[in-house]
Structure 1
Amino acid sequence: MTWSFSIGHLFGSELRVHATFFLLLAWIGTAAWIGTAAWIADGPLAAGVNILFVLVLFACVVAHEFGHALMARRYGIATPDITLLPIGGLARLDRMPERPLQEIAVAVAGPAVNVVIWAVLVGLGADTDVERLMSIEDPAAGFWGRLAAVNLFLVLFNMIPAFPMDGGRVFRAALTLVVGRVQATRLAARSGQVLAFAFGFLGLTSGSPVLVLIAIFIFVAAGAESADVALRDMARHMRARDAMITQFESLRPSDTLQIASNAVIRTTQHEFPVTDPGGGLRGFLTRNALFTALAHGSNTRSVAEAMTTGIPTVQLAAPLDAALDALQDTGAPAVAVTEPTGRMVGYITRENIGELMVISGRDRQY
């Protein structure tokens, strides 16, 4: 994820923190310093307590995400990374299980971790008055009591039956048994977007920027998941040859960045295959990589210095969703399409798959 950086690895997944997370810490600390409660006379101490609370809270969020990750691993699904955002955590699974019972198990594993944390805190004597849920921002409510209340709140919030909340995934899995996965995802996404509008309205009327951010995230994520599931459903019925780009110019590894620049101006391509004299694929040079290389060096440097290597390949007759998986798993700018002999005859990008889906969707309407 852009603007995030790694802080280490845990249980086989990379832990990442988004840069905006530190804006949250700064905001929490500043707000506590300026509006110090009566029970603490020292502003810096109040800021430190609240920042510590947020850090411990996000440790619980990380535990929540690892609940999803470790359960997914039982079904052979890897979790490359977990990213901390100001509005929570995001575990990036290679894919979601499509069997309803497996998806339910992965979805509820996260909230189950928060239930365990809440139970442990209660067992250790944390004050868990229901009113804690209404005053979790007040330091006077007690550190561990607030933490227990927030974990209970996370369970209730995440189990709302609206996508992309965990409860929405349970809702989608249950609907899949009745109406199919695509329609179930569409319904769960719509419920999520209705929820997003409600959160956005509450955020605007109450002056809460966090609620507005959550609303935007839910709305965008719900729409993206619905589109992705529809895309994959259509891709299962197509082959790589149906989506590949066959008219393109290629570059040689020894070509200069100036030659590549001329090719960008001369064509409409956003990426260029880099092949050796024998036609073997060496990599891809994207426009962004070219512009970055030009900004940091001479245009006489070779294309080989700026190209992306490790490009995945699929066969002409391979299902199109195999190309989608390759693009997602590797992060490569394109997938090369090859004949059985290994010769590259075209390539596939995310953009041209999207264009194919739009065209195919319109064709089905007529």
Structure 2
Amino acid sequence: MRGWSLPLGRWFGIDLRIHTFFFLLLGFCLLTANVDGLGAWRGIIMWGLLLLAVFVRELARLIAAAYHGLQLRSILLLPIGGLFSYSTPESAERAVEGNTQRALALAGPLANVAFAAVVAALIAGASSAVPLSAHPLVTPHHLIRSTVWFSLMLAALHCLPAYPLDAGRLLRAYFSQTRGSAQATRAVSGISQGFGLLVMLAGLALLAVPGNGTASGLTPWLIMGGFFIFVGAQLEDQGVMFQSVVETVRMKDVMLTEFSTLSPSDTLSDALYRAIHSLQDEFPVVRGGNLVGVVSKQSILAALRNSGNGYVQSVMVRTFQVAAPDDSLGLMIRRIAGGRMALVPVAVEGRIVGIVTWQNLSNSMGLLAEHRRFEREN
């Protein structure tokens, strides 16, 4: 999902990104305004109002997450809402607990309903001549009224028991109590894809009704909402399949056992010379056989350029995740998701016995799959 998104900056320590699907909707809004003979600016504003409805929802969820002590790394904005990425494994685990998950699930729809009520009250107070229920409900001709219905649509959408919608998350939590997390997610993903198809078919059926078409203004949005539900459920199903694979892989299965190490007392010049003769981009730093840090080629080179020669201990990273040989690869991926580490040391009682790098992981996984297939066949 991240590869199909664009950054919107870092706000209060949280990376905010917007998915490219939002820009597909911008094209649709511009087309709608053009068909109605209106200026492009009305289509852009209508798109901005949908983004505002999503923003209000995610702001409420962000407040709920902060109240429950969850630490967020990033938020990815989608047309149907946002996806949270947590900076610590503890936050990710706490987010799926009963009370916390219910709070997050309720915060979004309630915020959208409250926002719609406030805007509707402002409309009624400013002019009683603007009918809120007139058709089409969503149209570039009446942008303020469209704001009300965008918010209500988003709230109603998240009441569907389809993942990754809020009600779908609660359904997954319920299934997890009896089926386990992976099976529950796959079950809800299948239900969600069915809901997505039904919503799209319902929108297409409304288009086929003579005299109805897009009279309500909601029909095209219904089709697109179903599409986004279907795609989101498929992505979640693929994620679960990947997770089920990596959970069967142990760190000892993919770790490199032949690697170079550095000492904290090595000079940066000597470390750079050793790096020239190594394929590693990251090096464990050991003292007396015990792991004390991790350092990269880039940090060594940058320190030499900026400050001249020094010692490895001045540039090494002292905070890092250490794996045990029997830890699952899936567990380590969840632990370091927020750290963007390029090297994971594998140690026994503080002594390093191997390393896993993202540089060699894909190659190791491919070879491991071939090795397991060969063993099954023989």
TM over 0.5: yes
Kindly report which structure 2 residues correspond to 1:146-185, keeping only aligned pairs within 5 A, or say none.
146-185=146-185
Asked if 1:347 corresponds to 2:355, the answer is: yes
Q: Which has the higher contact order (CA 8 A, sep 6+)?
A: 2
Percent identical among aligned pairs is 21
Aligned residues: CA RMSD: 4.7
Q: Corresponding residue for 2:347?
A: 338
Please tell me whether residue 327 in structure 1 is matched to residue 336 in structure 2: yes
The structure with more radius of gyration: 2
Deviations 1:40-62 (A, max 9, x none): 5xx3xxx2122123223212211
How far did 1:80 drift? 1.9
Answer whether contact 1:164 1:221 (CA < 8 A) is retained.
no
**Change in CA separation of 1:282 and 1:203 when aligned onto 2, cut-off 3 Å:** farther
Q: Distance in 2 between matches of 1:100 and 1:154?
A: 23
CA contact (8 A) 2:58 2:108 kept: yes
2:72 is aligned to 79
Shift of 1:202: 7.8
Shift in alpha-carbon separation, 1:122–1:314, aligned structure 2, 3 A: same
- Name the residue aligned to 2:83: 90
What is the deviation of 1:152?
1.0
SS, match of residue 69 in structure 2:
coil
1:66 is displaced (CA, Å) by 2.3
2:322 and 2:332 map into 1 onto residues whose CA distance is 7
Aligned counterpart, 1:217: 231
Which residue pairs with 2:215 in the alignment? none
Q: 1:123 to 1:355 in 2, by over 3 A?
A: farther
1:313 alignment partner, SS class = coil
Q: Give the Cα–Cα distance (whole angstroms) in 2 for the partners of residues 49 and 124 of structure 1.
A: 21
In structure 2, distance between residues paired with 1:310 and 1:202: 56
Partner amino acid, structure 1, of 2:324: L
Task: Give me the whole-angstrom Cα distance separating, in 2, the residues matched to 1:156 and 1:35.
Answer: 28
Matches within 5 A, 1:1-366: 1-2=2-3, 3-9=5-11, 12-14=12-14, 16-18=16-18, 20=20, 23-24=23-24, 27-28=27-28, 30-32=30-32, 34-37=34-37, 40=38, 43=39, 47-85=40-78, 88-94=81-87, 95=92, 97-125=95-123, 127-129=131-133, 131-132=135-136, 135-136=137-138, 138-140=139-141, 142-198=142-198, 210=224, 214=228, 217-227=231-241, 230=244, 234=247, 242=252, 245-250=255-260, 272-275=281-284, 281-284=293-296, 312-314=320-322, 316=324, 320=328, 323-340=332-349, 342-348=350-356, 351=361
One-letter code of the match for 2:168?
Answer: G
Number of residue pairs matched by the alignment: 321
Report if aligned partners of 1:283, 1:309 keep a CA contact under 8 Å in 2.
Answer: yes
Give the superposition deviation at 1:284: 4.9
Measure, in 2, the Cα distance between the counterparts of 1:29 and 1:169: 30
SS at match of 2:71: coil
1:220 to partner: Cα distance: 3.4
- Give the Cα–Cα distance (whole angstroms) in 2 for the partners of residues 196 and 283 of structure 1: 47
| Cα distance in 1 between the residues matched to 2:365 and 2:191 | 25
Amino acid at match of 1:245: M
CA spacing shift, 1:104–1:130, aligned 2, 3 Å: farther
What's 1:301 paired with? none
Shift in Å at residue 241 of structure 1? 5.6
Contiguous gaps of at least 5 residues in structure 1: 265-270, 294-303
Query: Is the 8 Å Cα contact of residues 311 and 332 (structure 1) preserved in structure 2?
Result: no
Say if 1:228 and 1:197 are closer, same or farther in 2 by CA, change over 3 A: same
- CA-to-aligned-CA distance 1:144-177 (integer Å, 9 cap, x gap): 2111111111112122112111111011122234
Q: How big is the shift at 1:93? A: 3.3
Equivalents in 2 of 1:308, 1:200: separation in Å? 54
Q: Which amino acid aligns with 1:332?
A: M
Q: Helix, strand or coil for the counterpart of 1:91?
A: strand
Instruction: Tell me the distance in 1 between the aligned counterparts of 2:365 and 2:64.
Output: 31
- Specify the SS of the correspondent of 1:162: coil
